[in-house]
Structures are given as structure tokens and as C-alpha cells.
């Protein structure tokens, strides 16, 4: 063990094991997770060469191989619970990227949500056992988040009782679906349904794309890989072009809407139900933000404790870079953010499960708010995490740029989260729509409930306007509750500004949509402020629930840092809204620096508590034992370029020297 890390761990104010239990939900969860992780770590079938040294096609091959083994192993080990499946995959895939992943995450769930009992009987068994490998093809080359714009058509032919699928333009080619390029033999395709001469909008169809047995594309199908990407080397994201391709009527998923044999369309009872899958995936992505950021923080903090550089006091040995205030200022607010998002992720999961039960009983009342909240929080947490991972990488200096750090890989794997499952800006605007609706509701005299209930207390809704002047004195910068109030006031103010600007534009413009567009920057600001408030609130509430004093103390410091840092970064909002005074902002900045010093001794223990195995981190810089430099040298020596002492390309150098 590196002596610096040993010293850090000995000096921590709390036992990281207890904090790990908090993150896992219980000591029992921690135990079971580790048990599953060890199954993989001790299994020779999962060993392979370091992915960084492999070409794209080799990485794809490794991923397919592991997926194939995984199916057998999970059955063998009796792993069936969704959380356990996730732990299992997390460890053996390192980055969750697997070509058959969409079969489980999209194909099967869509079948369950939208397929009739007969359809489930027909397809479910074979897709669960990977007799068929399915994917989910929604996005087209020219169309993404705006679903109504999709161009793929499915035209019903009552003569043969078939749908005829077509990709009428270049822009309508299905583009991006994971596993589509090379792996899958079936796809659920979203297409505009035409029957009896009329378009009924988007519906889902099961489409065979490759022949069973030969794996060759079926006639009428053009399918392939979309080429090299920023990351996701293991994944064959694909394209799919269909040319008068016929499928039987029974291949349309008909649990909600139906097309009768004669071509009569029967519309679904409730549209909202299809939100379910989206809400689930988006709330899962909030947790994914937390995990990715926690990994990046683990690497950066450990390396900063091992790396020595420069001098603070002349003549003394070079200090650990974690002792520099600028380094603490780069990393500790991100560490606090990682914890905040961990708790928000857990909250989202619980809420989803709770509301899902209500939905099961036919109660859809909470769905609109949950939908709005997951959209905004998915965007808020993924934007923040995206920037934060990159900041962690930069905080590791030059070595952060090497794949040995693992950080480039974490970044390129995470960054699509800002785009997929709904582009973040569009997500923020969905939340804004909900906020505007709630604002209007309050304005018309009706109270709103849930996370937006603060809108009931808007100064403009009150009789005494002097309330505004009372705000500043209320904020106590050492009280998480009081800071939550400050964030609430900021959100309320920005929601109100956006609402008023929107009204002004509506008066001046002919169309509501144009007015909406011309207010959209304000609307995004309002949503961000709302989400920021929600995160601060949830973090604060979580800290209060912790029984163990030592854990509560350290989390309270992180919670304060998270809240105060956000105020410092957005000081303009708090000053302009007279929520805080200039001298309070000065105090906030001073308090942040005190907190950096207070968190410093616990920093390594705080990242240890995330409990990532070295294999999962995939980083030489972030190793638990801290033996960074020796292993960095060993790692580089394994690079394929070093296989020979004199590289074959020497011939070019030689000829250059002779010709000039």
C-alpha cells in the first residue's frame, strides 16, 4: 500500500464501511453485492486483455463473448433480481456497454408493456433465452427527440394482412440503435402507421432483420454499423433501411392500439401509460450520473493524494497535490455533487417504484409531476456530471489524458447520456412546461402540490409585498435547511420571471410557439433552478435521516459544500433576487474554503466508501493501493506499439533521411 494513502485512511474521521452501507441501502445489500462481484472476479472465463490495447472490432468481440458467457453464468448463479443483475453487469462490463444489452433493456420491456398476452407468449421466451436477439429502433438519421417527426412508414395491406415497412428518405434511415449493426436479428421498429388511407401516428412493430441460421440480412433490409464513435467501441450501433419490407399483421404490438384484419384502427385507451418506460429509464439515468461521477472522483482524489508536486513551503518536500487549495476547490465540490446525485438517484428509484404501484392500481395522478421531474433531473444531473468528469480528468494533469487513467473512457461512455433518452435541452423545456402550467394554476387561485408547492408562496401571490425585503435576513449559511429555502426562493423567482416574460412575448407575438421559443433561454434557467433546489432539498433531507453521528457529520459538511458552492457559482441570481446580501456572499466564499479544509482529511475515505473494485474503475491512477507509477510503467510496456524495440515504420524514417 502506498504510504500516502495509508496515512489518509488512518486519519479519516469515520468508518467508510458504514457509509458504503448507507449508499447500498443496508449492510445486507453491501454483502450480497460483494458476493456477486467476487463471483466474477474469481472467474477465469471473464478475464481478457486490457481493452485499451484492443482495436474496435476486438473490443466488440470481447463484449459479445462476455455477453454470451454472462447469460449462462447468471442462470448458473441464480441471479434474477433486477438490482443483482445490474451489480453483476456493472462489474463484468466495466462500462455497461454490451451489444445484446438492448435486448434486455428495451426489446423485452417494450414487449411486456405494449405486447398482447399472445404476443408475449410468442416472443418473450425466445428473446429471454437469446434464441432471438432484439433491439429497439426509434431514432432516425434526421430525427431524434421529436417523435412525431419520424418518417418510417408501416402501411397496412388488408389483402395479405401484412404491414409494408418503408424508409422513404435518407433521413428516415434508422440510425444509432445499439446492437443493430451486427448483433441483432430482430428489431422493434417505431413507424408511422397508415391504414385505410389515414396516418395514425407512431406505433411499434416487431421486424425480423437477419435470417436465423446464416445471420444474413433478409431481402428488403439494409443493415450495418454506423462507424467509429467517440466511445462505445464495444457497441455496434447500427443503421436500418427497409424497402417494401412485409411483416404479418400480428407483428404490430397491440396491447393498446390495434389494427383489425380488415384495416380498422382501434385507438388506445390511455396515452400516458407509454410514458412508463421513459420515466423508468430516465430515473435510472440519474443514478447512472451518480455512479459515473463517483468513479471519476475516486480516481482523481486517490491520485491527488499520491501525486506530489511543487512546493508550498520552500525547503519542505513536495506536498501532495490534494493539499493545494486550487485542487481541493476543483475536486471537493464534485465529490459533494457525487454524493448528492447518489441520494437523488436512490430517491428517483424509490419514487418510480412507488408510483408504478399506483399506476398498477389505475392511479395516474402523480405521473405528470414524476414525468416532469425525471426529465429535468436527467438533464440537470447528466449535464453536471458531464462537466464534472472532464474536470476530474483535467485535475489529473497530463496522465488524465492517457487511457491508463480510465477517465477518458468514463467520459466518452457517459457523455451520450446528455443526448439519448431525450436531448437535455428538450428535457429541460418539458420540465419548464410543467412549471409554467403549475404557475398558471397558482395564478388562477388553485394551490399546487409536490416539489413545486413553493409556487404557492410566490410574493406576487401574496397580499403583503414586503415579504421580499424580509428574505435576506432569513438565510443562515450554516444551516442546510435555510440554504434549501434560499434555493427555493431562487427557483420561485426564476420561474416567475420566465412566466412573465412568456406572457409578455405572447402578447407581442402572434403565436404561442414563437413566444415559447423566444423565452426558452429563460425557461431552461427556471428548470435548472428548480432541479437545483430539488437536489439540495433531497440531499438535506437525507442527511437528517442518518443515525450514525460520524457519518452524519461528514455528509453534513458535503451537503453544506454542495449548497454553498452552488450559491457561489450562481451568486448573480441570489444577489439580484435579494435572496442574499453581498456580505453574505462574501461569507459564503469564506465558508467554502473552511469546508475544503474540513473535508480534506476525509477525502480518501469518502471515495473509498463508493466501494468500487479496481476492475470497475479500470484506472492505473485510481488504484486502491495507490502504487501508481510502477504500474503506469508496466502498463505502458504492455502497449502493442512496444512489442518490438525498433518499430517497422522505421523504414519511413530511413528513407526520409536518405532523400533529404
Partner 1 sequence: MGQRQSQAMEGNPVHRVSAGDAWSSSMHPDIESERHSQSFNVEELTNILDGGAQNTALRRKVESIIHSEPELSLKDNYFMTQNERYEAAIKKKFHILMLAQRLGWSEGSSELQYASRSVSGDLGFAIHHIFQKTIRSLGSEEQIAKWDPLCSKFQILGTYAQTELGHGTYLQGLETEATYDAATQEFVVHSPTMTAIKWWPGDLGRSATHALVQAQLICSGARQGMHAFIVPIRSLDDHSPLPGITIGDIGPKMDFEHTDNGFLKLDHVRIPRENMLNRFAQVLPDGTYVKLGVPKSNYLSMVVVRVDILLGEVLPLLQKACTIAVRYAVIRRQSRLRPSDPEAKVLDYQTQQQKLFPPLAMAYAFHFVANNLLEFFHHSYSFILDGDFALLPELHALSAGLKAMLSDFCTQGVEQCRRACGGHGYSKLSGLPSLLTRVTASCTYEGENTVLYLQTARFLIKSYLNTQKSPGSALKGSLPQSVAYLTAPDLARCPAQTAADFLQPELYTTAWAHVAVRLIKDSVHHLQTLRQAGADEHDAWNQTTVIHVQATKAHLYYVTVKIFTEALEKLESQPAIHQVLKRLSDLYALHGILTNAGDFLHDGFLSGAQIDMARKAYLDLLPFIRKDAILLTDAFDFTDQCLNSALGCYDGHAYERLFQWAQKSPTNTEGNPAYEKYIRPLLQGRRARL
- The residues assigned a catalytic role are 421
Count Cβ atoms within 10 A of the Cβ of residue 656 and give its class: 0-12 exposed, 13-18 middle, 19 or more buried.
exposed
226 binds partner 1 (CB under 8 A): yes
197 binds partner 1 (CB under 8 A): no
Q: In the range 617-636, which residues lie near partner 1 by CB under 8 A?
A: 629-630, 632-633, 635-636
376 binds partner 1 (CB under 8 A): no
419 binds partner 1 (CB under 8 A): yes
Among 1, 112, 394, 469, binds partner 1 (CB under 8 A): 394
- Check residue 147 and report its DSSP letter: G
Residue (34 or 128) nearer to partner 1, CB? 128
Count Cβ atoms within 10 A of the Cβ of residue 177 and give its class: 0-12 exposed, 13-18 middle, 19 or more buried.
buried
Residue (115 or 406) nearer to partner 1, CB? 406
Is residue 412 within 8 Å of residue 230, measured between CB atoms?
yes
Of 394, 402, 388, the closest CA to residue 295 belongs to: 388
Is residue 531 within 8 Å of residue 566, measured between CB atoms?
no
Choices 224-232, 295-303, 435-443, 472-480 (CB under 8 A): range interacting with partner 1? 224-232
Question: What string marks each residue from 457 to 496 as x (binds partner 1 by CB under 8 A) or -?
Answer: ----------------------------------------
Among 112, 199, 312, 544, binds partner 1 (CB under 8 A): 312
Residue (369 or 573) nearer to partner 1, CB? 573
What count of other Cβ atoms lies within 10 Å of the Cβ of residue 598?
16
What count of other Cβ atoms lies within 10 Å of the Cβ of residue 75?
11
CA distance 406 to 426: 31
Choices 116-124, 390-398, 453-461, 468-476 (CB under 8 A): range interacting with partner 1? 390-398
β-strand partners of 259: 265
Q: In the range 572-591, which residues lie near partner 1 by CB under 8 A?
A: 572-578, 582, 585, 589
Q: In the range 531-570, which residues lie near partner 1 by CB under 8 A?
A: 568, 570
Residue (160 or 401) nearer to partner 1, CB? 401
CA distance 256 to 269: 7
Question: What string marks each residue from 167 to 196 as x (binds partner 1 by CB under 8 A) or -?
Answer: ---xx-x-xx----xxx-x-----------
What count of other Cβ atoms lies within 10 Å of the Cβ of residue 564?
25
Among 144, 287, 618, 622, binds partner 1 (CB under 8 A): 144
The three three-digit cell numbers of residue 518, written as one number: 423566444
255 binds partner 1 (CB under 8 A): no
652 binds partner 1 (CB under 8 A): yes
Residues with Cβ within 8 Å of 653's Cβ and at least 6 positions away in sequence, in order, are: none
Torsion sign across C-alpha atoms 434, 438, 441, 447: positive
518 binds partner 1 (CB under 8 A): yes
CA distance 479 to 174: 52
Choices 3-11, 66-74, 289-297, 555-563 (CB under 8 A): range interacting with partner 1? 66-74
What count of other Cβ atoms lies within 10 Å of the Cβ of residue 261?
9
Residue (16 or 626) nearer to partner 1, CB? 626
CB of 299 to partner 1, least distance (A): 15
Q: In the range 92-131, which residues lie near partner 1 by CB under 8 A?
A: 126, 129-131
Of 267, 231, 250, 249, the closest CA to residue 420 belongs to: 231
CA distance 392 to 375: 26
Amino acid at each position: 500500500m502506498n504510504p500516502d494513502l495509508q496515512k489518509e485512511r488512518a486519519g479519516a474521521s469515520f468508518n467508510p464501511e458504514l457509509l458504503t452501507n448507507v449508499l447500498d441501502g443496508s449492510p445486507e445489500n453491501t454483502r450480497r453485492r460483494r458476493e456477486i462481484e467476487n463471483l466474477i472476479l474469481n472467474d477465469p472465463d471473464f478475464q481478457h486483455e486490457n481493452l485499451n490495447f484492443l482495436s474496435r472490432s476486438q473490443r466488440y468481440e470481447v463484449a459479445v463473448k462476455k455477453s454470451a458467457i454472462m447469460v449462462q453464468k447468471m442462470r448458473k448463479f441464480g441471479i434474477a433480481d433486477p438490482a443483482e443483475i445490474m451489480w453483476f453487469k456493472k462489474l463484468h462490463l466495466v462500462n455497461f456497454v454490451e451489444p445484446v444489452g438492448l435486448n434486455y433493456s428495451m426489446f423485452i420491456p417494450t414487449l411486456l408493456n405494449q405486447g398482447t398476452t399472445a404476443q408475449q407468449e410468442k416472443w418473450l421466451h425466445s428473446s429471454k433465452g437469446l434464441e432471438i436477439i432484439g433491439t429497439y429502433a426509434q431514432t432516425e438519421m434526421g430525427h431524434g427527440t421529436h417523435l412525431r417527426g419520424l418518417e418510417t412508414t408501416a402501411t397496412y395491406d388488408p389483402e395479405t394482412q401484412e404491414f409494408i415497412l418503408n424508409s422513404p428518405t435518407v433521413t428516415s434511415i434508422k440510425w444509432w440503435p445499439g446492437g443493430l449493426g451486427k448483433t441483432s436479428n430482430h428489431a422493434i421498429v417505431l413507424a408511422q402507421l397508415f391504414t385505410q388511407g389515414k396516418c395514425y401516428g407512431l406505433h411499434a412493430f416487431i421486424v425480423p432483420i437477419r435470417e436465423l441460421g446464416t445471420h444474413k440480412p433478409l431481402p428488403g433490409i439494409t443493415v450495418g454499423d454506423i462507424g467509429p464513435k467517440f466511445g462505445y467501441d464495444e457497441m455496434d450501433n447500427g443503421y436500418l433501411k427497409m424497402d417494401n419490407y412485409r411483416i404479418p399483421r400480428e407483428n404490430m404490438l397491440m396491447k393498446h392500439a390495434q389494427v383489425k384484419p380488415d384495416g380498422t384502427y382501434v385507438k388506445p385507451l390511455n396515452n400516458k401509460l407509454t410514458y412508463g418506460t421513459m420515466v423508468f429509464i430516465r430515473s435510472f439515468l440519474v443514478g447512472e450520473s451518480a455512479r459515473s461521477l463517483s468513479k471519476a472522483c475516486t480516481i482523481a482524489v486517490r491520485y491527488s493524494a499520491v501525486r506530489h508536486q511543487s512546493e508550498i513551503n520552500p525547503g519542505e518536500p513536495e506536498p501532495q497535490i490534494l493539499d493545494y487549495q486550487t485542487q481541493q476547490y476543483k475536486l471537493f465540490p464534485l465529490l459533494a455533487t457525487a454524493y448528492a446525485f447518489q441520494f437523488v438517484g436512490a430517491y428517483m428509484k424509490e419514487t418510480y417504484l412507488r408510483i408504478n404501484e399506483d399506476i398498477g392500481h389505475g392511479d395516474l395522478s402523480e405521473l405528470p409531476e414524476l414525468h416532469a421531474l425525471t426529465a429535468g433531473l436527467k438533464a440537470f444531473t447528466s449535464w453536471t456530471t458531464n462537466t464534472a468528469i472532464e474536470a476530474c480528468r483535467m485535475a489529473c494533469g497530463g496522465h488524465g489524458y492517457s487511457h491508463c487513467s480510465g477517465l477518458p473512457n468514463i467520459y466518452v461512455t457517459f457523455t451520450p447520456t446528455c443526448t439519448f433518452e431525450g436531448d437535455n435541452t428538450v428535457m429541460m423545456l418539458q420540465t419548464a412546461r410543467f412549471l409554467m402550467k403549475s404557475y398558471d394554476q397558482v395564478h388562477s387561485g388553485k394551490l399546487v402540490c409536490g416539489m413545486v408547492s413553493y409556487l404557492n408562496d410566490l410574493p406576487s401571490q401574496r397580499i403583503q409585498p414586503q415579504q421580499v425585503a424580509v428574505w435576506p435576513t432569513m438565510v443562515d449559511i450554516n444551516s442546510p435547511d435555510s440554504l434549501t429555502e434560499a434555493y427555493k426562493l431562487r427557483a420561485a423567482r426564476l420561474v416567475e420571471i420566465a412566466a412573465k416574460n412568456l406572457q409578455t412575448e405572447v402578447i407581442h407575438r402572434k403565436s404561442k410557439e414563437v413566444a415559447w421559443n423566444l423565452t426558452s433561454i429563460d425557461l431552461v434557467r427556471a428548470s435548472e433552478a428548480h432541479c437545483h433546489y430539488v437536489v439540495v432539498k433531497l440531499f438535506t433531507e437525507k442527511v437528517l435521516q442518518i443515525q450514525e453521528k460520524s457519518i452524519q457529520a461528514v455528509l453534513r459538511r458535503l451537503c453544506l459544500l454542495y449548497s454553498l458552492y452552488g450559491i457561489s457559482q450562481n451568486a448573480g441570481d441570489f444577489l439580484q433576487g435579494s435572496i442574499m446580501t453581498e456580505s453574505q456572499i462574501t461569507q459564503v466564499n469564506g465558508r467554502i474554503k473552511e469546508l475544503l479544509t474540513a473535508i480534506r482529511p476525509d477525502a480518501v475515505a469518502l471515495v473509498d466508501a463508493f466501494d468500487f473494485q479496481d476492475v470497475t474503475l479500470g484506472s492505473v491512477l485510481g488504484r486502491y493501493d495507490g502504487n501508481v507509477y510502477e504500474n503506469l510503467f508496466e502498463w505502458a510496456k504492455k502497449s502493442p506499439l512496444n512489442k518490438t524495440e525498433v518499430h517497422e515504420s522505421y523504414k519511413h524514417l530511413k528513407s526520409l533521411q536518405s532523400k533529404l
